Amino acid sequence: MSGPVTDTRDLFAVVPRSEFDTPGTSRGLIDVVRWRYLLYLLVRTGVTTRYRNSVLGWTWSYVRPGAQFLVFWVVLGLFLNLNRDIPNYPVYLFSGIVVINLFSEAFKNATTSIVNNAPLVRKVFLPRQLFAVSSVVVAFIHFLPQLALLLIVCLFMGWIPSVSILGVLAALAAMIIVSLFALGIGLFFGALNVRFRDAENIVELLLLLATWASPVLYAWTMVQEAMDKLGWPDWLVDIYLLNPITQGVELFHYAFWRPVTSTTLALPPDLAWNTLWTFLIAVVTLLLGQLVFRRLEGRFAQDL
């Protein structure tokens, strides 16, 4: 004989209403921490499926930046004589390329993260920011082999005796600034991309400009010389140097290229202060991107 039936409404009556979440709401990036196990699953899936059914597999993480480096070094270093104007140009070039690759992959993948996971977004409720954050983390993991290759080259060129704590901190600061900035604008364009697929084309144009708008292929002093020649105000150079991508590249140059190079090329002015300012710019960008994302995420399921 069965016992008395308990009314479940009595059980929930003692639970404060504040303990329940309204369906469809989220706490933004805070939920990424709360759902960190799911974040781990998304990152693991992104890493393991990146080179699935590929013959070379993770070797592509070395082949692609290597091909970029070879093309730029031949065209700019040999044909346009930048190899003569910038000492140890190969290391200068590659240390900038790896930063641009980190930004490009993180930004592009975060932009398409919601659309690429449309089946999950339509059917299951989970913090949508997880997709963008996991895309940036996966991009960072794929950036590590390139960083390791750069480090190995610098070690052979005598990096250890010249390395400093400031250099190590500069490299860490560059990775943090670039990752935060990529996540911020990735959230912004990722939200727009759900409604307007033109956002992907805009991102492609921005990524094309990012390589040339930062001192990856040339020295920052060339920008200053061009401004002086054209008679343009000096504050334009200051704005150029406050670009988080520019700062990330220059910090990598400071960390890896300068210790293995005898150069008279001047440091960018206020490199330390600009590191702080660009970090704040990256944080503000992240907050604005998160604000736009949360305003638009309520319609993701319908728009997809």
Say what the pLDDT of residue 282 is.
96
* Residues 107, 182 contacting (CB under 8 angstroms): yes
The predicted pLDDT at position 53 comes to 57
pLDDT at 288: 94
Q: Is residue 18 part of a domain?
A: no
Confidence at residue 275, expressed as pLDDT on a 0 to 100 scale: 95
Task: Encode pLDDT of 83-123 as tens digits.
Answer: 677 888 888 988 999 999 999 999 999 998 888 887 777 77
- Give the separation between CA 290 and CA 193, rounded to whole angstroms: 14
Does residue 13 form part of some domain?
A: no
pLDDT at 47: 78
Q: pLDDT tens across 34-57, in order?
A: 777 888 888 888 877 766 656 556
- Number of compact structural domains in the chain: 1
| Burial grade of 193 (CB within 10 A; 0-12, 13-18, 19 or more) | buried
Question: Does a structural domain hold residue 15?
Answer: no
Residue 100 falls inside a structural domain: yes
Q: Which residues of the chain have pLDDT under 50?
A: 1-2, 5-6, 8, 11-12, 15, 19-20, 22-24
Q: What is the 3-state secondary structure (H, E, C) of the chain?
A: CCCCCCCHHHHHHCCCHHHCCCCCCCCCCHHHHHCHHHHHHHHHHHHHHCCCCCCCHHHHHHHHHHHHHHHHHHHHHHHCCHHHHCCCHHHHHHHHHHHHHHHHHHHHHHHHHHHHCHHHHHHCCCCCHHHHHHHHHHHHHHHHHHHHHHHHHHHHCCHHHHCCHHHHHHHHHHHHHHHHHHHHHHHHHHHHHHHCCHHHHHHHHHHHHHHHCCCCCCCHHHHHHHHHHHCCCCHHHHHHHCCHHHHHHHHHHHHHHHHHCCCCCCCCCCHHHHHHHHHHHHHHHHHHHHHHHHHHHHHHHHHC
124 lies in some domain: yes
Question: What is residue 285's predicted lDDT score, i.e. its pLDDT?
Answer: 95
Q: In this structure, is residue 67 part of a structural domain?
A: yes
Decide if 1 is inside a domain: no
Task: Indicate whether 58 belongs to any domain.
Answer: yes
CA distances in angstroms from 121 to 101, 139, 199, 241, 300, listed in the order given: 28, 21, 19, 39, 7
The domain containing residue 230 runs over which residues?
27-303
Q: What is the pLDDT of residue 23?
A: 47
Question: Residue 11: what pLDDT?
Answer: 46
Amino acid sitting at position 103: F
